[in-house]
Amino acid sequence: MKIVVALGGNALVRRGEPLTEEVQVRNVKAAAASLHKIARHHQIVVTHGNGPQVGLLALESEAYKDVPPYGLDVLVAESQGMIGFIVEQALRNEIKDTPIATVLTSTLVDADDPAFAHPTKPIGPVYPKDVAARLAKKHHWQMATAGEGLRRLVPSPVPRAILQIEAIRLLVDAGVIVICAGGGGVPVVAGESGELTGVKGVVDKDLASALLAEALGADWLLLLTDVEQVQADWGTTHPRPIHEASVAEMRRHTFASGSMGPKVEAACRFVERTGRRAAIGALDDAEAMLGGIKGTVIRA
């Protein structure tokens, strides 16, 4: 089978861990071992998030005063290269008999997407409330609650097309494990003449992964995160794990927009448009999710 596997931020940095190179390399090594179990029997395409990393790059860019800060589009591209290198190297060390390539990917979005006026995507670290208030005032950032602190919010336009899809398809058809659409891809808009321009935003990685999986004709979309299953009524006194459900059943529930909501929406879109299956669950359970043993499986 052909499977698009979307690695959540926990594949690089787990909750509460520092955003160091050592931590990310160690965590990706564990992720590569889990992906190897799938790659032994199936063809995989790997995507990944970049929220913590692109936020850190933005802070570094803001700190250097001799030049204006780089735009989010350039920082997304920079994070793709950095994370792609770490993921590819870990996979090469784990999977020695299959070619692997990382593709710098751009994602077409609409210039008039309402997301640009209403930032919803959290990036960067979690700040204490006093630090967050100071940064928000200094940089004119919008912030949102994240646990006991706050995170920066940036626009997250809806992905419309993966611009490198033909090149990715050629590589996949040649048997290459492709790492692509990192961080949802660099968001770009097309002018009236077709000229492409990067825009300040971060595309949701899960929605971009669903679009990629549909374009590649994937049999499964796996959205790997740091929870074992999707839970209905999460945050209440009686959460209920969902083992398997139809798209219609999943859409009857409400999920947090900053965490599980985009994953459920991405899975539902892929299943609706293809009639195939998607699953959401823990990184270590990836192989078991394909067998319907673990995770939350979403069907037509």
Q: What is the pLDDT of residues 11-36, one digit of tens each?
A: 788 877 888 899 999 999 999 999 99
Can you name the residues that pair with 178 across neighbouring β-strands?
45, 101
Q: Do 284 and 27 touch, CB atoms closer than 8 A?
A: no
- For 285, list phi and psi in degrees, rounded to 5: -100, 15
205 among known catalytic residues: yes
106/297 Cα distance (integer angstroms): 29
- Model confidence pLDDT, tens digit, residues 154-183: 899 999 999 999 999 999 999 999 999 999
Residue 29 falls in the annotated catalytic set: no
Choosing from 205, 281, 294, 295, the catalytic residue is 205
The closest of 175, 6, 177 to 89, measured between CA atoms, is 177
Catalytic residue among 10, 49, 84, 124: 10
Active site residue 235: no
Choosing from 8, 27, 49, 121, the catalytic residue is 121
Q: What is the pTM of this model?
A: 0.92
* Tens-digit pLDDT profile for residues 191-244: 988 899 999 889 999 999 999 999 999 999 999 988 899 998 877 778 899 999
